[in-house]
Amino acid sequence: MPTTQYHLEEGQLTADVWVADDAGHVIRLVAAMPADAFSEGQTPPAASGTVRMEYNLTSVNQPLNIETPPECVGVTPMGG
């Protein structure tokens, strides 16, 4: 599928986005920023390292089964 890639740098965030030329939807997104950016004003920062997110669209309008990884079974969800 033909795509157009866009690159973004905003503050500490960097991102690359691939958009489908024919339909205009996001096919792929890769973004990263330092973890301490989420700890603004906290000394020392609450976290270190890099937060990285990757999204890949592989199938449209197809059934999808997402299974919980075994190491996550029994973990309390965020916010709950």
47 occurs within a structural domain: yes
Q: What is the pLDDT of residues 23-48, one digit of tens each?
A: 899 999 999 998 887 667 767 766 77
pLDDT given for residue 45 in this prediction: 66
70 occurs within a structural domain: no
Cα three-residue angle 10-25-67, rounded to 5 degrees? 95
- Range(s) of the domain holding residue 47: 3-57
- Return the closest-CA partner of residue 26 out of 44, 12, 42, 8: 8
76 occurs within a structural domain: no
Distance CA 79, CA 42 (A): 21
Instruction: Inform me whether the pLDDT recorded for 18 exceeds 70.
Output: yes
Count other C-beta atoms under 10 Å from residue 27's C-beta. Answer: 20
Average pLDDT, the chain: 87
pLDDT-wise least confident of 7-16, 17-26, 44-53: 44-53
Read off the DSSP letter of residue 75.
Answer: P
The total number of structural domains that make up the chain: 1
46 occurs within a structural domain: yes
